[in-house]
Amino acid sequence: MLNVFCSNCKTCRQQFTEARLMNFLKSIGLFLLILGFWCGSVLGALYLIERHRLQDSGVLEGNGPNG
């Protein structure tokens, strides 16, 4: 990608900087998306574990859709 732009042209340097910035922003966006899915799955698993524990202890008896 470096050989696409000439080294002394201000427009080319600006385009190169913008391209690097866009790559960086895409990488950050992808990282945040993966982090969001990971956190969501961990919180979902903790919710299911806690709900099951409360059902076993009798706190949630009769509060479900079946009864």
pTM of the model: 0.63
Residue ranges of the domains in the chain? 1-35
Q: For 5-57, how does the pLDDT look when each residue is reduced to its tens digit (9 = 90+)?
A: 566 688 888 888 999 999 999 999 999 999 999 999 999 999 999 999 998 98
How crowded is the C-beta side of 43, counted as CA atoms within 13 Å? Answer: 6
If you compute the radius of gyration of the chain from its CA atoms, what whole number of angstroms results?
25
Q: How open is the CA angle 26-30-33, to the nearest 5 degrees?
A: 140
- The answer to whether 25 and 17 are in contact (CB under 8 A) is no
